[in-house]
Amino acid sequence: MLNPPEASPAGRAAVAAVVIAVSLILQVSVANRLPLPGGVQPDLVLLAVVALALVAGSMTGMVAGFFAGLAADIVPPADHTIGRYALVYCLIGYLCGVATAEMDRQSVVPFFAVAAGALAGTVLYAVTGMILGDPRAEWASVSRMVPPQVLYDVIASPFVVWAVLRATRRYERGERTRGDGLAVPAARYRAMSGRGGTL
């Protein structure tokens, strides 16, 4: 049986760009129009960033988060200072990417990462708004928005994470066939090298 083709940085970048573009389109055209209780909607772009970070690591999560956030800052109906989402998603992508090392051993890590990412995203966005003098960023409204926001993100997360895993599976297989420890997350490298279990 032939081995799958090796992953290329350009291929991974292209898949990440497609994932971010699709999530942004779905966010603007579908999610933002949902009349959900609490006046908030699931953040599909944030979920896509978290999923990419869990699949590919902190560097990919950070870069994908920055560009996804920048796109979310620019695409209408953007009504805030450009750069707020870019900063927040970049930080969340990095932090969730750090959790990649635990993903192979703990199956609940993606759900904790999504919940933590949703919570951190809402709070960080509000904090940056307060720093920049946004009158809508008040603790009273933020504390009212956080519980439904986290709930909706956790409910939507299995679908988004599954879709991202399907989209990146080909490139992940390519990475697993390599012997390069720098190209794979630490837990996967330990498992492949025999350090994570018995020989």
DSSP string, the chain: -PPPPPP-HHHHHHHHHHHHHHHHHHHHHTGGG---TTS----HHHHHHHHHHHHH-HHHHHHHHHHHHHHHHHSSS--S-TTHHHHHHHHHHHHHHHTHHHHTT-TTHHHHHHHHHHHHHHHHHHHHHHHTT-TT--HHHHHHHHHHHHHHHHHHHHHHHHHHHHHHHHHHHHHHH---GGGS-HHHHHHHHTTTS--
For range 154-183, the mean pLDDT: 68
- For the chain, domains (ranges, CATH) are 9-171 (1.10.1760.20)
**Is the pLDDT score of 122 beyond 90?**
no
**Is the pLDDT score of 189 beyond 50?**
no
User: pLDDT (tens digit, 9 = 90+) per residue, 14-48?
Assistant: 888 999 999 999 998 998 888 888 788 888 999 99
Supply the pTM of this predicted model. 0.75
**Is the pLDDT score of 184 beyond 70?**
no
